[in-house]
């Protein structure tokens, strides 16, 4: 069991929407959102490849904005949601901004099966759990989802996307 609540799954579906909107704007299909402890969406962000290249990941951009708007104490009770597992850069941003919980839909390894060796998204073979394990504070991590329907929705925009780049 992945431990996700129905609210977690609903918020992951919002990330899918955000990712799809990013893709429609010419960006990579990744989306993230920040929710408070009650599941209210505080901020959302799609990938912004067209604005800044491969470093403009949805999660990092969102977390940097959140750090300007909320205190570390406020962020500690928040959750970052992402359609795919955050890379080591984005997990580092999660750690440094003090967000206390992460929920993601599909793994970084699963992403590699879609991106291959695409120069626009050279994935790391490094899980968010492994990154957090080397830190000094606890971060709850849930993911990947075990809900097959949700997983199909998450990967839908990635099927064929990277081949056409």
Cis peptide upstream of residue 144 (ω within 30 degrees of 0): yes
Q: Are 122 and 54 in contact (CB under 8 A)?
A: yes
Q: What DSSP element (H or E) covers 57?
A: none
The catalytically annotated residue of 21, 24, 51, 59 is 59
Q: Catalytic site residue 74?
A: no
Give the C-alpha separation, 164 to 14, whole Å.
25
Q: Which residues are catalytic?
A: 59
């Amino acid at each position: 069991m992945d431990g996700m609540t129905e609210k977690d799954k609903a918020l992951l579906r919002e990330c899918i929407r955000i990712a799809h909107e990013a893709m429609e704007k010419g960006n990579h299909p990744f989306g993230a959102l920040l929710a408070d402890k009650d599941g209210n969406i505080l901020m959302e962000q799609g990938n912004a490849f067209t604005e800044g290249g491969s470093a403009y990941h949805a999660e990092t951009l969102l977390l940097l904005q959140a750090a300007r708007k909320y205190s570390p104490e406020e962020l500690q009770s928040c959750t970052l949601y992402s359609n795919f597992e955050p890379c080591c850069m984005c997990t580092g941003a999660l750690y440094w901004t003090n967000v206390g919980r992460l929920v993601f839909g599909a793994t970084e390894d699963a992403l590699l099966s879609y991106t291959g060796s695409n120069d626009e998204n050279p994935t790391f073979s490094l899980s968010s759990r492994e990154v957090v394990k080397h830190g000094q504070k606890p971060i709850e991590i849930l993911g990947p989802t075990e809900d097959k329907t949700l997983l199909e929705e998450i990967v839908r925009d990635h099927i064929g996307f990277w081949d056409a780049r």
